[in-house]
Amino acid sequence: MIIESSVGSQHTQEALGPEAFLRTLPPFDELAEGDFAAAMAALEVVYVPEGTRVLRRGGEPSSHLNVVRKGTALLSRDGVAALSVEPGEWFGLPSVLEDRPPEFDVDAVDDLLIYRIPGEVVHELARTPAFAEQVTRGLAGRLRATSGEADAQPTVVPMAPVLTLVSRDLVALPPEADVGEIARAMREEGVSSVVLRTEPPAIVTTRDLRNRVLAEGRGPDTPGLSVSSSPILAIDAGTSVAEARRMMLERSLHHLGVERGGELVAVVTTGDLLRHDASSPLHVQRELATIPRAAFAQVPERFRAIVPRLLAGGLSPLEVTRTIALLTDVLVQRAITLATETIGPAPVRFAWLTLGSDARREQTLLTDQDHALVHEEVDEDGAEWFHALATDVTELLETAGLPRCPGGVMAVNWAGSIETWRRRFERWFAQPDVNALYETSIFLDNRVVAGTLEVAELDEIVRAFRGDGVLLARMAAAAGTSRPPLGLLNRLRSTADGTVDLKEGGVNPIVAIARVLGFEAGSTTRSTIERIEVAAEHGGLTRDGAEELTEAFTFLQRIRLEEQVRASRSGRPMTNRAPLAEMTPTRRRHLKEAFVAIERLQNATIHRLGGDEVSR
C-alpha cells in the first residue's frame, strides 16, 4: 500500500520549544553556542492562514529565513508545483541572503506555524561554516553538501614511510593564481588541495574555497593567496605512516605536507591514509585472491567491514561501489579457479560475464548473482563442463553472501556460444517486445570478469542498432517503468512502514534512462555516470540535466550504502529502503529534490525519444 507521507522526522512530533526544535535541525545543530544564541535572540513566531501567499516569485525579497514548524508550504512556479516544504524544512534563504526576488511563489497549503529569523541576523549566520554549506546554491551543490556518517576509524599499516602513501605528484600553481584557476586545477587533477609556489609554500583546500570564498560571497577572481594557509604543516618523507596519522588526528588536519631534504614533495590526505588501512580493499583483495573454499562463508563479514571505513574516509559512494565490484570480481575469479581445480581445465576458451549493477561497478552490499557464460563451440561433454562450472561457482558465491538471482539470470541458465549470443542480441533488438526489452536491460550491462574469450563483437551489434528509432522509443518507454515515489505537491510518498525505496524509486530510473541514452549515443560504457556524461556530449541531455542526474545518483547511492551499513550493524536485514522518520529534514528535502529532478529528466527523455507514444 502506498500512502501519502505526513510523518515528519520524529522530532517534529516531539514536545519542543522553538529553541530546542531549531537546535535539532541542520544547519542550526552545527552552530557554535554564541551564533545560535544570536539567532535565537532574534527569533520570531508567526502564524499564516491556509491559502496565504507568503512570498511572490519576482516580488519583494524575503525579509526572513522561514522554518516551517507545523503545516505545509508549497513552492511553485507559474502555477506548477515544484516542492513542498514540510515541518523542519525552510524557505526563503536564497532570497533573504542575496536580497533578491524569490525564485518561487510560496503558498500556505494549510495553516502554517513558522519560526523565522530576520534578514540581518541571517546575513551574520551566513558567515558560519554550518550555514555556508546551505549557501552553496543549486541542487547539485546542496546534494554534495550532505555528507555521511564518519565514525569508523581506520587502522594503518604502521611502519611504512609516509611517502609510500603518495600516489601522485604535487599539484602546484604560481603564487598569483586566483581561486577560479585553483578550483579548475582541483577538478582536473582530482585533488582536494593545491599548493601555491610561494616561499614558504602555501596551501588552498576545498574547505578554504567553501569557508573563505563561497561563504564570504567572494568570486572566482579572488587571489588564491588571500584564502591560503601558510606555512604548510609538513613532516619528513621517512616518517612512519602511524606518526603521520597520529599528527593528522591530533591536529584534525585533512592535509599534511611531506618534505624531502626540506623541500615540499607531496601532500597526503586522510583519504591516502585510508587506502593503506590494514583492512583496506588492497588487503582484502589479496586475501580473497587466495581464499580457500572453507572460508567463503566469512566473506560477507569482510565486505560489511570495509564499506563504513571507506565512507568514513571520505571516498565518494561511487568509489565505494567500484571497490565492492572490484572485490566481487576477485571473488568470482577465485571461485572459478577453485571450481576448475575440481572439474578439470576448460575444454575451450570462455568468458564469464557479470551483469547488472556489478557490471556497471555500482554494486552495494545488497546484491544478488547475475552472470552468464560465453564460450567457443562445444559438444555435449563440453556443455556439461560449463554447466558444472556454473553450478559450482553459483554455490560458492551463495556461500559468500550473494544470493541466487530470483529471476534465474545466472550462468547455469544463460550459457552459449558467441554465435548463440549474437543471435539473441539481434533478436532482442529487432523485435523489442516486453520480454526482449527486459532481457536487453539485463544483458546490455555486461562485463567480462574471467576467461580469455573475446566478446567485443556483442558491442558491435549494440552500435549497429543505435539509430533504430523504434527500438529507442521502446527502450525509453520501458525506462519509465520505475517512477520516483512522489505524490501530490511533490511530497515524498512512503509505504505503510514509513520507508521509501531508494533503488526502485531513484536508482533504477536513473540507470534505465542512462542506459537508453548511452545506447542512443552508441556508447558501450557500462557506467551510469559515464553514460550520462556521453549523453551530455551528444546532446541527449543538457549539461545541467546531466549534472543533476549525476548528483542525484551519487546521493542515492550514498544513502543506500549508509542504510545498509546501519542495518548490518544493528543486525537487521539489509534493504534498499530508507525510513523517512529517521531522516533529518534537510536530507528528506534533498531526497525530494533528487526525485523531482529524476522524474523531470525521465519524462523529458521518454518524450524526446517518443517513448510516450509507444504502446507496450
Partner 1 sequence: MLALDLETTGFDPRAAEVLAIGTVPIIDGAIRVGAATSTLVRPEGRSAVEGIVAHHLRPSDVADAPRLVEVLPDLLDVIEEVDALLVHNAGLDVNVLRRACASLELRWPRPPVIDTIDLINRIRKRERATGHGRRLPRNLSGARQAFGLPPHQAHDAVSDAIATAELYLALQSRLTR
Kindly list the residues in this chain that would bind partner 1 in the complex (CB under 8 A).
12-20, 40-49, 69-71, 87, 110-111, 113, 115-116
Closer by beta carbon to partner 1, 69 or else 590: 69
Closer by beta carbon to partner 1, 40 or else 225: 40
Least Cβ distance, residue 525 to partner 1 (angstroms): 50
Closer by beta carbon to partner 1, 110 or else 433: 110
Closer by beta carbon to partner 1, 47 or else 433: 47
Closer by beta carbon to partner 1, 9 or else 440: 9
Q: Where are the beta strands (DSSP E) in 221-262?
A: 234-236, 255-260
With beta carbons less than 8 A apart as the criterion, state whether 148 and 311 touch: yes
**Rg over CA atoms, the chain:** 27
Backbone angles phi, psi at 235, to 5 degrees: -125, 165
Least Cβ distance, residue 498 to partner 1 (angstroms): 19
Among residues 562, 532, 564, 224, which one has the least CA distance to residue 367? 564
Least Cβ distance, residue 40 to partner 1 (angstroms): 6
Looking at residue 343, the DSSP 8-state letter turns out to be H
With beta carbons less than 8 A apart as the criterion, state whether 283 and 330 touch: no
Closer by beta carbon to partner 1, 70 or else 254: 70
Backbone angles phi, psi at 447, to 5 degrees: -150, 135
The C-alpha cell at 35 is 551564533
Least Cβ distance, residue 162 to partner 1 (angstroms): 51
Closer by beta carbon to partner 1, 16 or else 305: 16
With beta carbons less than 8 A apart as the criterion, state whether 305 and 279 touch: yes
Starting from the edge strand earliest in sequence, which strands make up the sheet with 193-196, in order?
Answer: 172-173, 193-196, 202-205
Closer by beta carbon to partner 1, 125 or else 177: 125
Look up cell 583496506; give the residue: 280
Look up cell 546521493; give the residue: 555
- CB hemisphere CA count around 34 (13 angstroms): 2
Least Cβ distance, residue 87 to partner 1 (angstroms): 8
Least Cβ distance, residue 49 to partner 1 (angstroms): 5
Least Cβ distance, residue 439 to partner 1 (angstroms): 52
Least Cβ distance, residue 516 to partner 1 (angstroms): 46
Determine the Cα–Cα distance for residues 227 and 160; give it in Å rounded to an integer: 34
Closer by beta carbon to partner 1, 19 or else 398: 19
Residue 251 three-state SS:
coil
With beta carbons less than 8 A apart as the criterion, state whether 214 and 144 touch: no
* Per-residue CA distances from 262 to 69, 253, 478 (Å): 57, 20, 61
Look up cell 542498432; give the residue: 465
Least Cβ distance, residue 54 to partner 1 (angstroms): 13
